[in-house]
A = this chain, B = another copy of it.
């Protein structure tokens, strides 16, 4: 039986490591997945100079990027035909062979483009979720992680529904447990937004609400979906990643200091593998008609390769990380 073939769109611009790293990532995707073809948006000349297999690569010339300093809405209306992330999303929306898209550029631009081309009919705005490995060996869907920085309670309710739908569909969890990120476990804890959302979540019988979850328990598997505004979600991701990097650095230093380099290197490697910190930054747009993956701004070739793997697994309705 012939293997199922996929098409994936990759936005080659926007990574802090430059388009070369992303194109190298596309090469790895092609090498490791004979059943995948790619559509690359970016600088045509640069992409073509890299000698990727021509029969498996389509190039969309869109040499402009939207940086974190630009206003993404303005960028969309002024120059959408030349911006790689917008062209990539347009292609994803219009090409039936495409299963999804990967970008490591501006979250704001990705959001605006998704909203314009790929928003699910039932939604007003997509959310950016992170599917994080937790300490029980399962996964927690953290939503939102940066698509909506300022939120109201209604939006947080929508995150609860989007996250629940996703975990139900992907992980076959019949009634996903939804937690609300707060500054204390008690129902009285929270800022104004959290307190108001708490009440709404309690009233909504279609949500399996388990109450507030504190910041030191985010990855402890207390819930399947952890709801928060995009500012707080960004903190959870970055605080955790930052602490991990600092601890791994500390372990390596300790190894050098005490002559235990080898074992410390092994430990660091084990932690990286178990916790998969690179993936902490790989987000999934919920509420979009196709799979849109957002990699960290600092993504290199291997992050792109991993993102493609996640994308295929999610599309095949398998566990996200396997």
**Residues of A participating in the B interface, judged by any CB pair closer than 8 Å:** 68-69, 71, 135, 146, 149-150, 181, 183-184, 186, 188-192, 194, 214-220, 229-232, 234-247, 249-251, 254, 258, 260, 263-264, 266-267, 270-271, 274-275
- How far apart are the CA atoms of A249 and B216 in the complex, in Å? 14
Q: Is the CB of B234 within 8 A of A247?
A: no
**Known pairs A188-B68, A191-B149, A264-B267; A135 contacts B235 (CB<8 A):** no
**Known pairs A191-B150, A264-B267, A267-B254; A235 contacts B247 (CB<8 A):** no
* Interchain CB contact (< 8 A) of A219 among B220, B242, B263, B270: B242
**Known pairs A238-B215, A270-B254; A230 contacts B183 (CB<8 A):** yes
Q: Is the CB of B183 within 8 A of A149?
A: yes
- Write out the residue numbers on chain B whose beta carbons fall within 8 Å of the beta carbon of A192: 150
**Other 16 A-B pairs with CB < 8 A, given A216-B238, A247-B275:** A68-B188, A69-B188, A135-B249, A150-B192, A183-B231, A214-B238, A215-B237, A215-B239, A216-B239, A218-B239, A235-B235, A243-B243, A244-B247, A250-B275, A254-B266, A254-B271
The minimal Cβ–Cβ distance linking A278 to chain B, given in whole angstroms, is 13
Q: What are the nearest 6 A-B pairs in CB distance?
A: A215-B238, A216-B242, A239-B239, A243-B243, A216-B238, A183-B234
Q: Is the CB of B230 within 8 A of A239?
A: no
Q: Is the CB of B232 within 8 A of A235?
A: yes
- How far apart are the CA atoms of A10 and B258 in the complex, in Å? 40
Q: Is the CB of B236 within 8 A of A235?
A: yes
- Write out the residue numbers on chain B whose beta carbons fall within 8 Å of the beta carbon of A260: 263
Q: Is the CB of B242 within 8 A of A271?
A: no
Q: Please, could you name 19 A-B residue pairs with CB atoms under 8 Å apart, sorted by A? A: A68-B186, A68-B188, A69-B186, A71-B188, A149-B183, A183-B231, A215-B235, A215-B237, A215-B239, A217-B238, A217-B242, A235-B239, A240-B243, A243-B243, A247-B275, A250-B270, A251-B251, A251-B267, A264-B267
Q: Is the CB of A250 within 8 A of B271?
A: yes
**Known pairs A149-B183, A186-B69, A239-B236; A135 contacts B267 (CB<8 A):** no
Q: Is the CB of B184 within 8 A of A68?
A: yes
- Write out the residue numbers on chain B whose beta carbons fall within 8 Å of the beta carbon of A245: 216
A219, A243, A264 pick with most chain B CB within 10 angstroms: A243
The minimal Cβ–Cβ distance linking A11 to chain B, given in whole angstroms, is 18
- Write out the residue numbers on chain B whose beta carbons fall within 8 Å of the beta carbon of A270: 250, 254
